[in-house]
Chain A
Amino acid sequence: MRLRNHLRGGAVVAAVALTVSACSAQAGGGDTSGEGEVAGEITVITQRTDIVDTVFQEYKAEFEAEYPDVTVNFEAITDYEGEIAVRMNTDDYGDVLLIPNSVQPDQFATFFEPLGSVEEMGQEYRLVEEKAYDGQVYGLSITVNTQGLVYNKKVWEEAGITDLPATPDEFLDDLRAISQNTDAVPYYTNYADGWPLSQWDGNRGAMGDPAYQNTHVAHSDTPWAEDEWHGISDGLLYDVVAEGLSEEDPTTTNWEESKTLLGTGQVATMLLGSWAITQMRQAAEDAGGSAEDIGYMPFPYQVDGTFHAQVAGDYKNAINVNSEHKAAARAWIDWFAKESGYAHDEGGISPLLDGPMPETLGDFEAAGVEYVELEPAPQGKESYEADVVAAAEIDLYGNIYRQQLVDVARGAGGGDKESFFADLNQRWADARASVGE
Chain B
Amino acid sequence: MAVLTGVLARGRTSGSGRGPGHGLPVTPWLFLIVPLGLLVLFTYVPVANMVWYGFTSWDGLDPVKEPVGLDNYVRIFTDPQMFEVFFVSLYYLAGAAVQLVLALYFATVLSFDTRFRNFFKGVLFFPYLINGVAIGLVFLFLLRPGGTLDATLALVGVSEPPQWLGDPSLVNVSLAATSVWRYLGLNFVLFLGAIQSIPGELYEAADLDGATSWQKFRYIIAPAIRPIIGLTTILAISGSLSVFEIPWIMTGGANGSTTFVIQTVQQAFQFNKFGLASAMAVVLLLIVLLVTWIQRRLFPDERVDLT
> A residues bordering B, Cβ < 8 Å?
17-22, 24, 81-82, 85-86, 88-89, 102-104, 107, 110, 191-192, 194, 248-252, 389-390, 393, 395, 398-400, 403, 407, 410, 412-413
Docked-complex contact A192 and B61, CB < 8 angstroms: no
Q: How many whole Å from B182's CB to the nearest CB in chain A? A: 19
Decide: A21 near B62, CB < 8 A? Known: A390-B272, A398-B270, A413-B168: yes
The distance in angstroms between the C-alpha atoms of A385 and B64, with both chains bound, is 21
Contacts of B256 in A (CB 8 A): 407, 412-413
Contacts of B59 in A (CB 8 A): 17-21, 102, 104
Say whether B69 faces chain A, with CB atoms less than 8 Å apart. Answer: no
The distance in angstroms between the C-alpha atoms of A5 and B288, with both chains bound, is 35
Contacts of B270 in A (CB 8 A): 395, 398, 400
Residue of B whose beta carbon sits closest to that of A22: B64
Contacts of B273 in A (CB 8 A): 18-19, 390
Q: How many whole Å from B7's CB to the nearest CB in chain A? A: 39
The distance in angstroms between the C-alpha atoms of A410 and B165, with both chains bound, is 13
Docked-complex contact A412 and B61, CB < 8 angstroms: no
From B57, B145, B167, B253, A20 is in contact (CB under 8 Å) with B57
Contacts of A81 in B (CB 8 A): 269
From B163, B167, B171, B252, A194 is in contact (CB under 8 Å) with B252
Between A and B, 19 residue pairs with Cβ closer than 8 Å are: A19-B271, A21-B64, A21-B66, A24-B64, A104-B61, A107-B61, A192-B251, A192-B254, A248-B163, A249-B163, A249-B166, A252-B140, A390-B273, A395-B270, A399-B254, A403-B254, A407-B254, A407-B256, A412-B255
Decide: A412 near B144, CB < 8 A? Known: A21-B64, A194-B254: no
Contacts of A412 in B (CB 8 A): 166-168, 255-256
Against A, the Cβ 8 Å flags (1 = close, 0 = not) of B13-34 are 0000000000000000000000
Say whether B200 faces chain A, with CB atoms less than 8 Å apart. Answer: no
The distance in angstroms between the C-alpha atoms of A243 and B48, with both chains bound, is 52
From A24, A86, A252, A410, B62 is in contact (CB under 8 Å) with A24
Q: How many whole Å from A131's CB to the nearest CB in chain B? A: 15
State the majority secondary structure of interface residues on A.
Answer: loop
Chain B interfacial residues counted at CB < 8 A: 31
Against A, the Cβ 8 Å flags (1 = close, 0 = not) of B103-120 are 000000000000000000
Say whether B295 faces chain A, with CB atoms less than 8 Å apart. Answer: no
Q: How many whole Å from A293's CB to the nearest CB in chain B? A: 25
Contacts of B163 in A (CB 8 A): 248-249, 251
Contacts of B171 in A (CB 8 A): 251
Decide: A251 near B166, CB < 8 A? Known: A102-B272, A412-B255, A413-B256: yes
Contacts of B62 in A (CB 8 A): 21-22, 24, 107
Q: How many whole Å from A266's CB to the nearest CB in chain B? A: 13
The distance in angstroms between the C-alpha atoms of A21 and B140, with both chains bound, is 40
The distance in angstroms between the C-alpha atoms of A135 and B145, with both chains bound, is 53
Residue of B whose beta carbon sits closest to that of A410: B166
Contacts of A398 in B (CB 8 A): 270
Say whether B266 faces chain A, with CB atoms less than 8 Å apart. Answer: yes
Docked-complex contact A400 and B266, CB < 8 angstroms: yes
Residue of B whose beta carbon sits closest to that of A19: B59
Given contacts A400-B253, A413-B168, 6 further A-B contacts (CB under 8 A): A19-B59, A102-B59, A249-B145, A249-B163, A252-B144, A390-B272
The distance in angstroms between the C-alpha atoms of A21 and B62, with both chains bound, is 7
Contacts of B235 in A (CB 8 A): none
Say whether B143 faces chain A, with CB atoms less than 8 Å apart. Answer: yes
From B140, B145, B168, B271, A390 is in contact (CB under 8 Å) with B271
